[in-house]
Amino acid sequence: MTTETRLRIAMQKSGRLSEETQQLLKRCGLKLNVADRRLLAHVTNMPIDIMRVRSSDIPGLVMDGVCDLGIVGDNTLEETALERELLGEKSDYIKTTGLNFGGCRLSLAMPEEFEYTGIKSLNGLRFATTYPQLLKRFAQQSGIELDYCLLKGSVEVAPRVGLADGICDLVSTGATLEANGLKEVEVIYRSKASLIQSTSTMTDKKQEILDTLLPRIQGVMKAKESKYIMLHAPKDKLAEVSNLMPGKETPTVLPLAGRDDLVAVHVVATETFFWETMESLKALGCDSILVMPIEKMMG
């Protein structure tokens, strides 16, 4: 079980979420020896321990109160919760915050030659999947009968070897489907990574640690989506320049030494800064336009 005073966070040991989870924790200021092969690693500068496990084990570890927090894909979370509900096992958790990585969709895909004419044309077919509960829920909600067989990986191979008619698996670029002669016919679930917490293990001390950690996580996410923009603008075009800036932040306007006609404009853009905007700024007479990443943000 968890300790009273150290926050235990479960993260994926290796795979699609592990790099970004590690980056996130690092950017939050957690000092962790990543070369350390220990599966329960101590953070040296905060009362936090990191447990490195298979992502499919993370929801259960949090639901059972073995870990206080977990970073996991919504797909895995939802699948585990449905499965546990069915088995009458503990399935409650709190979704602390959504995270801005691990975006993918759970889709039904069929061989390219299959004639898809709507959901009803899938009635009675068999799908290979790692996510039987999400597939069953979709079938129920759509009013069709679907059969399934369980595969933990390389799901896309199933139709070609006669194991199933189609697949229900995660898609992000669609490259794996294409490489295996499959086409996406229905998106059944959209997923991202989330930070979840146990409903039963939070002591005051651990809540205090989370109260420090959570704003940092939010700050890192905000910084990742934001850019710091610097440029030189003609003084008489300031209003037009401000209008072109993405986001709602007020720009900082600074004088430029020895130039009466130009000013420096700095702004934090919380929305995507497109090449087209840069071209429009250039057309207004702006110069030295720099778009820079932001490492941390608060307030």
| Site of interaction with ligand ATP (CB under 6 A) | 12, 15-17, 54-56, 73, 75-76, 102, 104, 153, 170, 172, 191
Which segment (164-172, 232-240, 267-275, 277-285) binds ligand PRP by CB under 6 A? 164-172
Task: Pick the closer one to ligand ATP by CB: 17 or 229.
Answer: 17
Please choose which of ligand PRP, ligand ATP, none residue 65 contacts, taking the beta carbon within 5 to 8 angstroms, the exact cut-off set by kind.
none
Contact 75, 191 (CB under 8 A): yes
Distance CA(233)–CA(121), nearest Å, equals 59
| Cα 16 off chain centre by | 10
Task: Pick the closer one to ligand ATP by CB: 106 or 164.
Answer: 106
Distance CA(25)–CA(168), nearest Å, equals 32
Which segment (19-27, 172-180, 185-193, 234-242) binds ligand PRP by CB under 6 A? 172-180
Strands of the sheet containing 104-111, edge to edge, are 147-150, 126-129, 166-171, 104-111, 182-191
Interface with ligand PRP (CB under 6 A), residue from 20, 68, 79, 169: 169
CB of 101 to ligand PRP, least distance (A): 14
Interface with ligand PRP (CB under 6 A), residue from 33, 123, 154, 207: 154
Task: Quote the crossing angle between the two packed helices 74-87 and 132-142, to the nearest 10°.
Answer: 80
Which segment (87-95, 163-171, 198-206, 247-255) binds ligand PRP by CB under 6 A? 163-171
Interface with ligand PRP (CB under 6 A), residue from 6, 16, 126, 136: 16
Q: Does 134 bind ligand PRP (CB under 6 A)?
A: no
Which 3-state string (H, E, C) describes 261-294? Answer: EEEEEEEEECCCCCHHHHHHHHHCCCEEEEEEEC
Task: Pick the closer one to ligand ATP by CB: 11 or 231.
Answer: 11
Which 3-state string (H, E, C) describes 60-79? Answer: HHHHCCCCCEEEEEHHHHHH
Contact 55, 17 (CB under 8 A): yes
Distance CA(180)–CA(186), nearest Å, equals 17
Interface with ligand PRP (CB under 6 A), residue from 173, 248, 257, 258: 173
Interface with ligand PRP (CB under 6 A), residue from 29, 47, 132, 174: 174
Instruction: Count H helices and E strands in the chain, helices first.
Output: 8, 15
Contact 57, 83 (CB under 8 A): no
Interface with ligand PRP (CB under 6 A), residue from 170, 217, 223, 229: 170
CB of 80 to ligand ATP, least distance (A): 11
Task: Pick the closer one to ligand ATP by CB: 13 or 42.
Answer: 13
For residues 64, 70, 71 and 75, what is the CA-based torsion angle, rounded to 10 degrees? 10
Task: Pick the closer one to ligand ATP by CB: 52 or 227.
Answer: 52
Distance CA(252)–CA(255), nearest Å, equals 10
Task: Pick the closer one to ligand PRP by CB: 141 or 173.
Answer: 173
Task: Pick the closer one to ligand PRP by CB: 15 or 124.
Answer: 15
Question: Which residues of the chain form contacts with ligand PRP (CB under 6 A)?
Answer: 16, 153-154, 156, 169-176
